[in-house]
Amino acid sequence: MDRFVWTNGLLEMNETLVIQQRGVRLYDGDDKAKLDVGVVLLSTHRLLWRDQKNHECCICIPLSQVIFFEEQAAGIGKSAKIVIYLHPVPENKEPGPYQQSKYSFIKLSFKEHGQIEFYRRLTEEMTQKRWENTPVSQPIPTGTTPKAARTRAVGIVGIERKLEEKRKETDKNISEAFEDLSKLMEKAKEMVEVSKSIANKIKDKQGDITEDETIRFKSYLLSMGIANPVTRETHGSGTQYHIQLARQLGDILQAPLEERGGMMALTEVYCLVNRARGMELLSPEDLVNACKMFESLKLPLRLRVFDSGVMVVQLQSHSEEEMIASALDNVSDKGSLTAEEFAKLLGLSVLLSKERLLLAEKVGHLCRDDSVEGLRFYPNLF
Amino acid sequence: MHRRGVGAGAIAKKKLAEAKYKERGTVLAEDQIAQMSKQLETFKTHLEEFASKHKQEIRKNSQFRVQFQEMCATIGVDPLASGKGFWSEMLGVGDFYYELGVQIIEVCLALKHRNGGLITLDELHHRVLKGRGKFAQDVSQDDLVRAIKKLKAMGNGFGMIPVGGSYLVQSVPAELNMDHTVVLQLADKKGYVTVSEIRDSLKWERERASHVLDHLLKEGLAWLDSQAAGEPQYWLPALFSELLSRDVTPEEANQMTP
């Protein structure tokens, strides 16, 4: 963090803003910087950061100071980060927030996401190195002088001109993109034809294929995004990837499941896992296919589908009888309960509370009173 | 599990089969699979090339995304089937839609207690955009629709009901049949509907109208205003346009993070 210098945050002539992202906290190496959460800005020349609450507090570092940078994926409770390694402090460095630091890298922690796009833009700027082509004039002093005002105005005209150029280029890019897309789709179509031909052969049993070949074929289909009803019938939709995923889920979900009474709706799991990953997210189908493998892999989790169609992941150790018995206790205690009241009592989602009550009803412990005021459950005295 | 037999007899049989196939000019499935592997590598290279030139276009241009999705559908490819697919890994389409899926789930969860699990596509669009912040990639309604279609795989009752030229997005497993849907469509114009209106427009008997309205009340999708002038009015919070401007409260925000 000792590479940063104070700045008034104004862009210089020839300097263009590329992207900005709020909700970013800076780290001095591995330690949180003694600054609050702010907005990080990337220009063609610098990396800037401004405190969200106090706009006067603004610091920057030239992009030429960056050696290299990498992504750090999010974890549970930890935001995704970009780690930036920097050259040593230059001799004539202006004052900044840190006099010294034992680290030669900083981190940007993206508490409100945006790291994917920021990383991409940073990569672009670091590749193009536009600051080398358009060196900026002397840094503008902190006080607003007439000279500074004039420079800013020229900057705005320059920005508008750049926008116009960009618009023209965008149009050209789009038509080229559509052309390339058509060509790409032609090639993709060929792949689909080949896989259809193979699938038909498997169906007609022309030339039996081995288990290994089936596994390989399925992974090819997965890569291309081609569905295949033939292999799905006999071998299911899972692949090696889903087996791996199932094992990962077995680890990740233990604690969250225990916190939530042993059961989570699949949509909850989807959000939890993808929020933690930050990038390289799972598709809903990936999640479902992985969960379907829990049983065959002997993992302590199960995918379960309720009559209503709601899908949940539950701990295998989760005892059905206990859950039903405790539901009966709760209802008897209060005389009667709706799904909403039960949810509040247990700290669970309304959806899952309802499923518990329905289960208890199914085995005959509870009975319902279904009126326009809502669905209420009573202990079954019949 | 069928295992290819070993032994001289099996080998001879296989050679014979291969010879027969080659004679007829057809190729065995296992040979084709081996070949497919090579073709896949070639395709991957083409996709990489395309990505290096146009990955930005997909992310920034919602029209381009629509084109892309439609072309994939035409040739029988689902680019969103898996995060492990080439399309997802190289073009980044996956992350865009899967993250959108998370945002959609969160918005629906936060508002469920207000609208019973039914929300207009417009309101959903508005809220998702707000949640993404000023500098996030643009998201179109087409993007939302595709993301929702994928969410259906997780069995939580995600569905879309065509209403008044757009859609109502359902996010709870409430049973809604044709009768319910038609009443929702009728209510779209004013945000509420009465029994008389149903009888006049749809020519149903009182019993049938009441039955449908009662179900909507029970599921929390409709609210009853029994003090309305004339006859009781059944309001659908999902169709309230005033609610659009009301922000999510802190309690609702807590609902959003699982």
Residue pLDDT, tens place only, A96-150: 888 888 888 999 999 888 888 899 889 888 888 888 877 655 444 444 444 444 4
Tell me A209's DSSP state: -
How many C-beta atoms lie closer than 10 Å to residue A41's C-beta?
Answer: 22
pLDDT score of A152:
46
- Place A259 in a pLDDT band, splitting at 50, 70 and 90: confident
Q: Smallest CA–CA separation between B45 and chain A, in Å?
A: 11
Over residues A219-242, the pLDDT tens digits come to 888 899 988 766 666 666 678 889
Chain A residues in contact with B176 by the CB 8 A cut-off are none
Is residue A247 exposed (0-12), middle (13-18) or buried (19+ Cβ within 10 Å)?
Answer: middle
The SS3 of residue A117 is helix
The pLDDT of residue A151 is 46
Q: Is A319 on the interface with B (CB under 8 A)?
A: no
CB-based contact A283 B150, cutoff 8 Å: yes
Q: Summarize the confidence of residues B79-103 as an average pLDDT.
A: 91
Distance CA A109, CA A88 (A): 22
Whether residue A155 has pLDDT greater than 70: no
Q: Residues 42..71 of B with a Cβ closer than 8 Å to A: which?
A: 43, 46-47, 50, 53-54, 57, 59, 61, 64, 67-68, 71
Q: What is the pLDDT of residue A146?
A: 44
Which residues 128-147 in chain A show a CB within 8 A of chain B? Answer: none
Which residues in chain A have Cβ-Cβ distances shorter than 8 Å to B102? 270-271, 274-275
Q: How many CB atoms lie within 10 A of CB B154?
A: 23
Q: Given CB atoms, is B19 within the 8 Å cutoff of chain A?
A: no
Taking the complete model, does pTM exceed 0.80, yes or no? Answer: no
pLDDT of residue A291: 94
From the centroid of its chain, how far is CA B34? 35
CA-based nearest residue in chain A for residue B174? A308
The structure tokens 């295992």 sit at: B3
Q: Pseudo-torsion of CA B181, B187, B188, B191, nearest 10°?
A: -140
CB atoms < 10 A from the CB of A147, how many?
11
Does any CB of chain A come closer than 8 Å to the CB of residue B16? no
Does the CB of B9 have a partner CB in chain A at under 8 Å? no
Tell whether the model's pLDDT for residue B6 goes beyond 70: no
Cross-chain Cβ contact A191/B43 below 8 Å: yes
- For range A337-350, the mean pLDDT: 84
Largest CA distance in chain B: 92
Q: Name the residue with tokens 């992207």.
A: A19
User: What integer is the mean pLDDT of A360-378?
Assistant: 85
- The mean of the pLDDT values for chain A is 84
- At residue A169, the pLDDT reads 73
Q: For residue A284, give every residue at least 6 positions away whose Cβ sits within 8 Å of its Cβ, in sequence order, or none.
A: A270, B98, B101, B150, B151, B152, B153, B154
Strand-pairing partners, residue A366, are A379
pLDDT of residue A359: 87
pLDDT at residue A292 in the model: 92
Closest chain A residue to B131 measured between Cα atoms? A112
Judged by CB atoms within 8 Å, which residues 233-272 of A form the interface with B?
A: 239, 241, 264-268, 270-272
Q: Average pLDDT in the A249-270 region?
A: 90
- What percent of chain A has pLDDT above 90? 22
Q: What is the ipTM of this complex?
A: 0.79
- Determine the pLDDT at residue B19: 66
CA distance A94 to B142: 50
What is the predicted pLDDT for the residue at A113?
84
Q: Is the pLDDT of residue B125 over 50?
A: yes
Contact A207 B155 (CB under 8 A): no
Q: What's residue B145's pLDDT?
A: 94
Which residue from B43, B133, B154 is facing A270, i.e. has the nearest CB? Answer: B154
Sequence-distant (6+) residues with CB within 8 A of B129 are B139
**What band does B78 get if pLDDT is binned at 50, 70 and 90?**
very high
Query: Considering CB atoms only, which of A181, A267, A372 is closest to B214?
Result: A372
Contacts of A223 in chain B (CB under 8 A): 40, 84-86
What is the pLDDT of chain B when averaged over all its residues? 83
Q: Predicted confidence band at A153 (pLDDT cuts at 50, 70, 90)?
A: very low
Which among B84, B89, B111, B252 is the top mutation candidate for probing chain A, defined by the most A β-carbons within 10 Å of its own β-carbon? Answer: B84
